[in-house]
Structure 1
């Protein structure tokens, strides 16, 4: 109940400050080295895995960046801390005390060129108590057609709460007002197209958009 009261108060104050919320906000554009430098790459290698990944500007038009590499479910069993490997991703984090406010919007929009694989978009937020970072992750599938640039619309209500990669069954509400990191990841799966091999995901920009109830599905 107190969460709903806090949200209602917060929404009212936001409405007073800005009675007409914006229809979109550009979170990232990938045009210059500094745009890519904001993102960190992670893989399973520190834990004994053999997946390799990188994130860099594309040398060809249009202006974009490419998250690419080789995903492998193999790992060094003697040195590994893993029970399952074959994962990697990129993540952008806000500086301490800062956040992205996605409350005025209803969708995350990623302009991407896929490779036939299924990626995962992740939002990490502060807890409802201001200043307390949550270890929970809100995740949604990111599908982008192979070899074709498209705007992938992911409604914010499609993001599901997870903890250490597992879906949390308890009903919760995302604190969209205080998003502290945004990420995209890939994991090897049981499906043939998702198993080991090269991958490449092109990215032009990431936006938050509001459609006044007319949210386009990805």
Structure 2
């Protein structure tokens, strides 16, 4: 009888262990590197865009900083924002003065399920930049072929390194740069890309705005699990 009880208890213990949910085993790491900007190879994962594609006169570049004394060499996104439009342009744009850098298409997608924020380590110029996350459309039907885009402002203190931590809940759904009034959920399991942009006439109170030069150094972009 004692042997039977021992076998029964061993079976019960094994069953309990099999069905016990150890949350630490299911959670992702506390942070996940998405992009770094320490080499020219890293920068080749991005492409630039600006209003110059539509008749504007803004310009942008992306390059590696000149490392000195063995220090890290971050990427530098810089250029000039112009509100002017070239004469005789065939494009009838209603606004100019914007530049951006967008990641090139992934071989698949990035899975950020389990994370609740994104972090960007930056050293800026006092301007307000825009962080955009592109996700696969939940519906993904012929009637809605485009990816979803989500945007949040990032203020960059002038001349100081700063880690901006933005909860995914702060990203708003947008359409061609305009916030849309819709109840939507970000598809974090299928992130297709990211971008960082700057607009001469957009931002928040207290940030630098207007036409002129811009410059932001970027060290890395990560996903965070803060809970």
Q: Same fold (TM over 0.5)?
A: yes
Unmatched segments (≥5 aa) in structure 2: 1-21
- The correspondence for 2:126, drawn from 116, 119, 125, is 116
Unmatched segments (≥5 aa) in structure 1: 1-14, 213-218
C-alpha displacement of 1:156: 0.6
- The correspondence for 1:29, drawn from 32, 36, 48, is 36
Once residues 39 and 133 of structure 1 are traced to their aligned partners in structure 2, the CA distance between those partners, rounded to angstroms, is 23
The question of 1:136 aligning with 2:148 is answered yes
2:209 aligns to what?
Answer: 194
1:204 partner SS: strand
C-alpha displacement of 1:190: 6.9
1:194 partner SS: coil
Residues 22 and 104, structure 1, Cα contact 8 Å, conserved in 2: no
The question of 1:152 aligning with 2:176 is answered no
Given the superposition, is the C-alpha separation of residues 87 and 190 from structure 1 closer, same or farther in structure 2, using an over 3 Å criterion?
closer
TM-score normalised by L of structure 2: 0.80
Given the superposition, is the C-alpha separation of residues 172 and 39 from structure 1 closer, same or farther in structure 2, using an over 3 Å criterion?
same
1:62 aligns to what?
Answer: 72
The question of 1:94 aligning with 2:105 is answered yes
Once residues 77 and 166 of structure 1 are traced to their aligned partners in structure 2, the CA distance between those partners, rounded to angstroms, is 27
TM-score normalised by L of structure 1: 0.83
C-alpha displacement of 1:32: 1.0
C-alpha displacement of 1:189: 0.7
2:53 aligns to what?
Answer: 46
Once residues 190 and 95 of structure 1 are traced to their aligned partners in structure 2, the CA distance between those partners, rounded to angstroms, is 29
Residues 125 and 215, structure 2, Cα contact 8 Å, conserved in 1: yes
- The correspondence for 2:187, drawn from 175, 188, 194, is 175
Once residues 107 and 100 of structure 1 are traced to their aligned partners in structure 2, the CA distance between those partners, rounded to angstroms, is 14
2:226 partner SS: coil
